[in-house]
Structure 1
Amino acid sequence: MLDHTGLVVTDLAKARRFYDAIAAALGLQTISNSEESFLFGKSKEEPIPYLWIGTTRPSYWVEGSRPGINQMHVAFRAENKAMVEAFYKAALENGGTDNGAPGPRDGVPDYYGAFVLDPDGNNIEACARGEASK
């Protein structure tokens, strides 16, 4: 199960605006943890799992890595179709780029999702599965 993952971004303020907007749409929160980063997750009371987002170069990066060079994909669970649609709208209004409008996907039963690229080109998804997708 996921504990945490992270994204390196080029502009923290632009990223924060984008992730604040999609957090609100998904019923999640962003939490400041340093001048160079913030966390995206459920809450301070339930901090794990989380997505670390910052401008600091990770110690584990291989030589030549930089933000956006290795596109990352992160999918967030949505409680229903309306939440997926709110995520998509919030993302596009706050620096995101369409990468797949809300809807079902061929070959994936009981699924309703949307894809956007964040300001650094990472593929960010929100999806509802099962009964929530109806």
Structure 2
Amino acid sequence: MKIDHGGIVVPTEKLDGVVNFLIATLGHMGFKEIMRPIPTAVGMGDTGPYFWVQGCAMDDVTAKEISKRQHTAFTAETVEQVQQFHEAALKAGATDNGAPGPRNHYHPGYYGAFVRDPVCGINFEVVIHDHQG
């Protein structure tokens, strides 16, 4: 089963920063802003909005706790897309949280890369599940 839609919550003042980071790091896979039905909600995806970035008023302590606990993984079609994501993320100011490579302790064929975005520190991943290398 595939997820129909989901998203993350960020401080309202960091909304555009996170959206711009996601476009900079996932744009090579067709990921873009699709719609913004209200100023604090951005629907993103490739052909339709399936990933939402929601702005929310919060204090610094709450924002740090929420950011540390959030994780979102995007599926790649190729190892090259995983590597391109990681490279683009570091160039966009992200912190490495796991260089591209196999993660057989998750399951055989798992190849992913992890970063923490420079805006909120959210752990983003791009993964391919059927890597044969």
In structure 2, what residue type is equivalent to 1:24? G
Match of 1:95, as an amino acid? G
Greater Cα shift, 24-33 or 68-77: 24-33
Moved over 4 A (4+): none
Is residue 25 from structure 1 mapped to residue 21 from structure 2 by the alignment? no
CA–CA separation in structure 2 for the residues paired with 1:66 and 1:6 = 18
Aligned to 1:117: 116
Counterpart selection for 2:65 from 69, 72, 75? 69
Task: Return 5+ residue gaps in structure 2 as ranges.
Answer: none
Structure 1 contact 68–122 (Cα < 8 Å) conserved? no
Q: Is the 8 A contact 1:23 1:30 kept in 2?
A: no
**Per-residue deviation at 1:133?**
5.1
> Could you say what secondary structure the match of 1:25 adopts?
helix
Identity across the alignment (%): 37
Task: Deviation per CA, 1:26-75: give whole Å up to 9, x if none.
Answer: 332222413223122122xx33xx22113135xxxxxxx83341311111
1:126 aligns with 2:130: no
Distance change in 2, residues 1:40/1:87 (3 Å): same
Q: CA deviation at 1:23?
A: 2.4
RMSD of the alignment, in Å? 2.4
d(CA) in 1 for partners of 2:5, 2:96: 25
Unaligned runs of 5+ in 1: 58-64
Distance 2:26 2:41 in 1: 16
Match of 2:77 in 1: 79
CA contact (8 A) 1:14 1:95 kept: no
Q: TM-score by structure 1 length? A: 0.78
